[in-house]
Amino acid sequence: MIRLCGLSKSYGGVKALDGLDLEVRRGELFAFLGPNGAGKSTTIRILNGITRLDSGKAFIGGVDIARDPIGAKRLCGMVAQHNSLDGELTVAENLEIHGMLFGMGRGERRESALEHLRYVEMEDRSGALAKTLSGGLRRRLMIARALMHRPRLLFLDEPTVGLDPAIRKRIWSLIRSINAGGVTVFLTTHYIEEAEFLAGRVAFVNQGRLVETGEPRAVTDRLGRWAVDEFGDDGMATRFFGSRSDAADFVRTLKGSGSVRPVNLEDAFLNITGRRVS
């Protein structure tokens, strides 16, 4: 669904992307992870036709973004990190405007709006002003809006940032449902547990380059299954083990304190790059 070949982009001599190669398969839920400044936002901006690349090629659904940006855009829906709703418009009007921008007819707009408000469980809020909605409802409305024109690819940029745990889990369920319906989902998040729970495959980007990709468990298993965080005078050190019993045996040898936990994607990224995702 997405193919990037040697993607490069610089801002004032600073490289945001440095020959990025990446493929996202049709129908998968893909997490694109990295620390601030790694190139995630630049990649999404290029894929959405907001930023022009300096060199390389970018395709969505086989459409060359540089040659046919409008054609590529029609295949995509976008849920940005920050609220992009018009607060002075109602829920229904926000969807209506989006449908008009994508050239949908009046009947098609009404049908799609009703369908997607039901999908995000907001059909009873269609007449409410967007500015009166809670953070969780605003995010659900942004998802409904992004799906209005029935895209084949949905970009989710930090979709649950700032939401409480209960609302986050509702959004997670919605994301999984969207993907199960056949929409390819491209997710960026700083919440490691979110990527581990949702994604079938993850990619780590650092300094504008792809440094690792694979299924979450396969990526973490390269380190081990269990980690021991050892706390000492010089700070914390982490060691990795194939079994919980080996990790527990190691803890018993420590002079200081230590704790045993499962290995996670943050460990894998830190081990590869020396930097944390969040």
Q: Are residues 145 and 229 in the same domain?
A: no
Q: Are residues 163 and 202 in the same domain?
A: yes
Q: Are residues 136 and 210 in the same domain?
A: yes
Q: What is the mean pLDDT of residues 28-46?
A: 92
**Domain co-membership, 202 together with 234:** no
Q: What is the pLDDT of residue 256?
A: 78
- Structural domains in the chain (count): 2
Could you tell me which residues come within 8 angstroms of residue 166 by beta carbon, excluding any fewer than 6 positions away?
A: none
Mean pLDDT along residues 145-149: 96
210 and 242 housed in the same domain? no
CB contact at 8 A, 79 and 159: yes
Sorted by sequence, the CB contacts under 8 Å of residue 44 that are 6+ apart come out as: 155, 157, 186, 188
pLDDT tens, position by position, 228-254: 999 877 778 899 999 999 999 999 998
Asked if 166 and 252 sit in the same domain, the reply is no
Computed over every residue of the chain, the mean pLDDT equals 93
Higher pLDDT, 37 or 130: 130
Predicted confidence (pLDDT) at residue 260 exceeds the cutoff of 90: yes
- Rounded average pLDDT over 177-198: 94
**Within a domain: 275:** no
Indicate whether 234 belongs to any domain: yes
Mean pLDDT within 79-102: 95
Angstrom distance (rounded) from CA 207 to CA 220: 21
Binning pLDDT at 50, 70 and 90, where does residue 216 land? very high
Q: Is residue 51 part of a domain?
A: yes
Same domain for 134 and 232: no
Within 10 angstroms of residue 235's Cβ, the number of other Cβ atoms is 7
Q: pTM score > 0.75 for this model?
A: yes
Same domain, 194 and 230: no
**Domain around 77:** 2-12+22-216
User: 107 and 26, same structural domain?
Assistant: yes
Asked if residue 249 and residue 155 are part of one domain, the reply reads no
